[in-house]
Chains A and B, each alone.
Chain A
């Protein structure tokens, strides 16, 4: 066991650090900066182009497809070094690299790989995910958006339905889309997976106003949207396997973060308690900090164990959900504590107090982290069933053709 870099890894880290020192500062965002969505997305694309030009995009993708053909550990090292900067990377870039590209690489054909992978790594194409629907979130396979073959013999598909919670759908170029193509078979079997150009006529995105005040999610309405069969990924009826590939990438990507416990400690240690000491003298606060630190370290080192597994070619399976499950709740607790430590200023900071503003945002945002990418309850089921081998949930819809289901 070694937590440190091997000599080769250390050399790679030094190379990454030097390149980032020369290129990242130009793209760095001011902390607490608020800017229009379009500007943030443009900055994201520009950073992707810079990464590609420098040879740092798609580290784990094969060289033949525009990547660098490296192991997972190098990708982690680069992400750690990149994480030291405040760069414009967001869902508008990571959905492409972390979710669309793995499914295209695994389930797509050569033509699709050639068409999309390098263009995405370059920042020329950005992606959104068209999965959830108003009645299909945790029960994703219950989706109703349907595709039928056009009756003109072209082989094209005509799609009708509604998707929801599609992050950045209003600003991205392409979407990964799962739809129902056969309602006469049980729900997991009648799904087919597509990539869709978001500029296709019949696609309308409407922003959803979120509790944070932002509108990064959308409802997406699809009305007689025509998709060529060449944009189908994998076989007709095998869309569920594609979804699983995407969700695995999402789980592994949504891992532990060093989420601000240390700066919060500094804040507590510097804030008077009114009795001649600081907020950090309070035993209950010390206990909460210690618990948060121990949990944060545990998440980080568990993630390190998963990365080691991945680098050895092992599949962590449902273990990948454990970090997200632990992290999301702790993130909520930590930001709740952070607001409390600020006293009344936590609920109404003075103008210019961007640090408190960020904590408020994170506290609100933490609620969606416990839902997105697998709700807490779904992840607990997966851990119980796939890690501990406990019985599956009672399923009333098993083996029932989708069209015969109620509701």
Chain B
């Protein structure tokens, strides 16, 4: 047993953190929000230049061919920075959907462009309130009809991988007459979501079927890494503020009410990180263990970031409620990440369904 990241993975994480720290300070996030930007384009170009976009894309398609843990350390750094880039949409979900379910021609056409950042993709699964993974949209004679909402990053995406009737995926180029994109009022101002109406849009079916479970399990592990990174950033932000802020003649951080709160956040974050590591290991090395590993990672990721984002703002007091303080970025992202790809109840079911013993699957 060697349950630790390799030195190369630790170095990759350092590089990613350094890049985000350099390019996306909090003032940059405020500027993006005030200008109504849909993403941080220079940051995306820098991620492409560093090879991060292609980290987990096979070498034959222009990527580096690394694994889920390598992608995970990048996602953790991205979460810590609260970066406004379509990494989850384009790389973790869409590129991986093409790799898992695409035809050779689809892979050859799109994976190199996604790895280089020349094209952006998204994964369209929900159809408003109701089941998270909805299949109302469908193909009729090669044309896609129906609506998907909300879809992250759809405003800047060139293509969408769309979950359709029957549970398969289709690949749709978004810049065509049969596609209408409407920007929604997104809770996370740095992760804009859209409604997409397809009215007879040209769509290419993807040959791989039955890949949805694998795709969302892998994405759940990456979402857990993102949550752990964000939770740790909140924890350190709260700790640093509490050490600096003097109250009743001593640092706020000297009060047990604050220390104990942050100790609990630290424990939840380390447990979630441990589950994310296991999920990353299972995604690479043990497919049978992945469903339970992914669900546990997802649940503990939601839990630690929920605690961390709420208590970070609370520790900051009234200052935390101002736009100039930075707590709100994580507070909004936390709720977005908590429902993205299915909420707690959805993943609780998946975790129980993945337990050995068929009677557990009763519900």
- Residues of chain A touching chain B, judged by Cβ–Cβ distance below 8 Å, are 1-6, 9, 73, 76, 262, 265-266, 269-270, 277-278, 280-281, 283, 286-287, 289-291, 293-295, 297-302, 304-305, 307-309, 312, 319, 322, 325-326, 377, 379-381, 383-385, 387-394
Contacts and interface: CB of A to CB of B under 8 A. Distances in A.
A139 B99 CA distance: 59
- Dominant SS at the B interface? helix
Contact of B359 (A269, A325, A379): A269
Contact of A1 (B250, B254, B281, B344): B281
B362 interface: yes
A278 B295 contact: no
A299 B295 CA distance: 15
A269 B362 contact: yes
A283 B310 CA distance: 25
Interface string B276-292: 01101100011000001
A390 B360 contact: no
Contacts of A289: 348, 352
B267 A326 contact: yes
A380 B271 contact: no
Contacts of A1: 2-6, 9, 69, 277, 280-281
Nearest to A391: B254
Contact of A290 (B258, B266, B348): B348
A380 B258 CA distance: 10
A255 to B, nearest CB: 12
- Dominant SS at the A interface? helix
B3 A3 contact: yes
A257 B39 CA distance: 45
A293 B344 CA distance: 13
Given A290-B348, A293-B296, A278 B4 contact: no
Given A384-B259, A384-B262, A384-B263, A301 B275 contact: yes
Contacts of A390: 239, 242-243, 253-254, 258-259, 262
B357 interface: yes
B351 interface: yes
A265 B292 CA distance: 14
Nearest to B264: A380
A383 B295 contact: no
A59 B286 CA distance: 30
B109 to A, nearest CB: 34
B118 interface: no
Interface in B47-75: 69
Given A2-B285, A289-B352, A301-B275, 4 more contacts: A73-B1, A290-B347, A291-B299, A308-B3
Contacts of A280: 352, 359-360, 362-363
Interface in B240-268: 242-243, 250-251, 253-254, 256, 258-260, 262-264, 266-267
Contacts of B14: none
14 contacts: A1-B4, A1-B6, A3-B3, A9-B1, A280-B360, A286-B363, A291-B299, A294-B295, A301-B3, A301-B271, A381-B256, A383-B263, A384-B253, A384-B260
Contacts of A293: 292, 296, 351-352, 355
Given A283-B345, A290-B348, A391-B243, A298 B263 contact: no
B259 to A, nearest CB: 4
Contacts of B285: 2-4
B204 interface: no
A380 B259 contact: yes
Contacts of A297: 274-275, 278, 292-293, 296, 300
A380 B2 contact: no
Given A265-B357, A298-B272, A322-B270, A291 B259 contact: no
Contacts of B295: 290, 294
A287 to B, nearest CB: 5
B93 interface: no
Contacts of A326: 267, 271
Nearest to A326: B267
Contacts of A278: 359, 362
Nearest to A3: B281
A298 B301 CA distance: 10
Contacts of B355: 262, 265, 293
A291 B3 contact: no
A291 B4 CA distance: 24
B344 A287 contact: yes
Given A1-B281, A297-B278, A391-B254, A308 B359 contact: no
B235 interface: yes
Contacts of A302: 270-271, 273-274
B349 interface: yes
Contact of B274 (A277, A281, A283, A304): A304
Given A280-B362, A293-B296, A391-B251, A3 B1 contact: yes
Given A277-B362, A293-B355, A2 B271 contact: no
A278 B363 CA distance: 8
Contacts of B351: 290, 293-294
A6 B2 CA distance: 9
A294 B292 CA distance: 9
Contacts of B251: 391
Contacts of A76: 1
